Amino acid sequence: MITRWVSSIIRNLTDNYIGDSMSDFVFDKISDSDIEMYAEEAKVFNYTREKIDREGVTLVSFEDERLGSSMEKLDLAVSFDKKVWTLLDIDDMIQGYNEIPLGYVTNGVEYNYLMVIVRLMSNMILDKVHDNYHAYIYCRVDDSLKGIEDSSFQGRLAVDKFDLLGDYDTVIKKVVGSDLPYKENLLREIKRLNKENIKMGRKLSELELMTLDNIGKNVRFVRRELLGVTLEGLAKSTGVSRDVICRLEALSDVEDSLRAGDKVVYPSISTVIKFCDGVGIKPSQLFETQIEYDEGVINIIKEHCKDFIKAKNK
């Protein structure tokens, strides 16, 4: 009964309504005062340029001859100091697209801050708000803070509109001089990220690459070919977690991962020792030996894991 009543109201409304199409929407040109208002209200997200380029904006449009239409429009503005903003001319680039990668429309454009502005126009009879907007700002942080995008502090910094612009030392001073209630924890996170990025950015020697590759191939061979078990099975046998074993195996592609800019998690000594104890070999054999071609090491592993292999085959 209620459903029929609601449907009747909508039908009566739409029978007496002729909605304009999306082609009739005309967005005013954004003025300097508009920019100031957007910038004042916008939350600030701290991302590296690489991460910003991978971000995208999805515009939602709707058109129905009975209910009406709604349309969203994207505008971008850039700044070096958050005081003077320059609108980018992107209309021709994004015409006809609803999903817009930011790296595509800002290719070759230098900035410290990128403001994303999405405006809405609507003539839908069920829409109480017929024009609206939302805006947010990306602060381009230094590569020494790569990973801050995924930090638990990202949301709090956005709400507080606090940016981490500058090199590592500048950012440290900025946070120390702030009144952020969580600044001590934030400082620890920034220092951790910087230390990790320095480690990740260090170019590995040929010997290091060869050793990591050997570890990955040996772990994969032992699991798949020698023991014939799943990640879970090897985890149970060695006491090393499934995720860690997966990361160990991924080291066989470490050179490709580094070339692609992917994050590589290197094994700790304790992890390597625990794995080697689990399969009965010495760490040096995991590092230096190509196990699939060494009958002696293969026999050692088979003997050490014979009870596990027997149980698996039952």
Classify burial at 234, counting beta carbons within 10 Å of its beta carbon; exposed 0-12, middle 13-18, buried 19 or more: buried
Question: How many Å apart are CA 247 and CA 264, to the nearest integer?
Answer: 8
- Output the pLDDT for position 245: 92
Domains of the chain: 15-141 (no CATH), 206-313 (1.10.260)
Q: Which two tokens stand for residue 283?
A: 């760490």
- Output the pLDDT for position 304: 92
- Output the pLDDT for position 126: 63
Q: Which two tokens stand for residue 127?
A: 């829409």
Q: Which two tokens stand for residue 193?
A: 């990220």
- Output the pLDDT for position 42: 96
- Output the pLDDT for position 7: 40
Contact in structure between 197 and 143 (CB atoms under 8 Å): yes
Contact in structure between 123 and 130 (CB atoms under 8 Å): yes
Sequence-distant (6+) residues with CB within 8 A of 59 are 72, 73, 74, 97, 98, 99, 100, 118
- Output the pLDDT for position 68: 82
- Output the pLDDT for position 9: 35
- pLDDT per residue, tens digit, the chain (314 aa), is 433 433 443 344 434 443 455 557 788 889 999 999 999 999 999 999 999 999 999 998 888 777 788 889 999 999 999 999 999 999 999 988 889 999 999 999 999 999 999 998 888 766 555 668 899 999 999 999 999 999 999 999 999 999 999 999 999 999 999 999 999 999 999 999 998 887 766 666 788 888 889 999 999 999 999 999 999 989 988 999 999 999 899 888 877 777 666 667 778 888 899 999 999 999 999 999 999 999 999 999 999 988 887 777 66
The beta-strand segments (E) located in the chain are 43-48, 56-58, 62-64, 68-79, 86-87, 99-101, 113-122, 131-141
- Output the pLDDT for position 4: 40
Q: Which two tokens stand for residue 240?
A: 């090393």
CA separation, residue 221 to residues 86, 207, 227, 257 (Å): 56, 21, 8, 20
Task: Region of 42 please: left (phi>0), alpha (psi -120 to 50) or beta.
Answer: beta
Question: How many Å apart are CA 294 and CA 246, to the nearest integer?
Answer: 23
